[in-house]
């Protein structure tokens, strides 16, 4: 059975690591690529593979991101789920459960994609070793063993972000593939707003 909450949070955690990456020249190259994305939207495909190469989970959906921390990440299949930030709150809505969890927006919170588009490159030399493995690919290794992943691969094509692969301590790899990307185009502001539907249970988190 798909663990959709892990799917969503896994993606968000991957994006959030860009707030604290490390390693001089290679970090500068990666930062330069990221700051060029003022907005980014499209479709996504996410796949979780175990250490034997077996596919454990798959999901698809759409996403909209805008500097400096607005996002709308919607899983459509196999189960619907929505993650939204309006810079005041972060909403995680599960329509099947008729439940939404809301917490204050905080750039220090991991598992959000808020800082992917922040452009705050001054924080990229604290926690991660970054190696540019090819012209378009970067490997990130956390300096702290407390992180939820052991390695993250980030790949670009013609200056555009096309995929991320996250490997955890169990040898499992989660790959996020971005499709039909639209870059630096206006995104309707209502996509970054969320009003709980009538009858939805609201859980307030810290």
Distance CA 12, CA 6 (A): 10
Provide the whole-model pTM. 0.77
CATH number of the domain at 4-204, please?
A: 2.50.20.10
DSSP at 158: T
Burial class for 101, CB neighbours closer than 10 Å (0-12, 13-18, 19+): middle
Indicate the domain borders of the chain.
4-204
Parallel, antiparallel, or unpaired for β 201-204 and 99-104? parallel
Burial of residue 186 (number of CB atoms within 10 Å: 0-12, 13-18, 19+): exposed
Question: How would you write the pLDDT of the chain (206 residues) with one tens digit per residue?
Answer: 445 455 455 555 545 444 443 346 888 888 788 778 888 899 999 999 999 999 999 999 999 988 777 889 999 999 999 999 888 898 999 999 999 999 988 654 444 333 444 435 455 556 677 889 998 999 877 777 656 678 888 899 988 889 988 888 889 998 989 999 999 999 999 999 999 999 999 999 86
């Amino acid at each position: 059975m798909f663990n959709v909450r892990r799917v969503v949070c896994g993606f968000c955690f991957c994006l959030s690591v860009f707030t604290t990456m490390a390693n001089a020249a290679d970090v500068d190259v990666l930062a330069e690529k990221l700051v060029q994305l003022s907005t980014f939207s499209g479709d996504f495909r996410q796949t979780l593979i175990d250490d034997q190469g077996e596919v454990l989970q798959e999901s698809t959906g759409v996403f909209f991101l805008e500097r400096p921390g607005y996002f709308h990440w919607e899983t459509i299949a196999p189960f619907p789920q929505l993650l939204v930030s309006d810079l005041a709150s972060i909403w995680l809505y599960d329509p099947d459960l008729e439940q939404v969890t809301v917490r204050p927006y905080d750039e220090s919170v991991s598992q959000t994609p808020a800082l992917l588009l922040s452009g705050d490159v001054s924080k990229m030399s604290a926690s991660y070793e970054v190696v540019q493995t090819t012209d378009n690919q970067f490997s990130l290794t956390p300096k702290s063993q407390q992180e939820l992943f052991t390695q993250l691969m980030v790949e670009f094509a013609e200056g555009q972000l096309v995929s991320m692969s996250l490997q955890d301590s169990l040898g499992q790899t989660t790959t996020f593939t971005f499709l039909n990307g639209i870059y630096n185009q206006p995104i309707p502001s209502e996509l970054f707003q969320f009003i709980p539907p009538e009858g939805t249970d609201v859980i307030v988190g810290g």
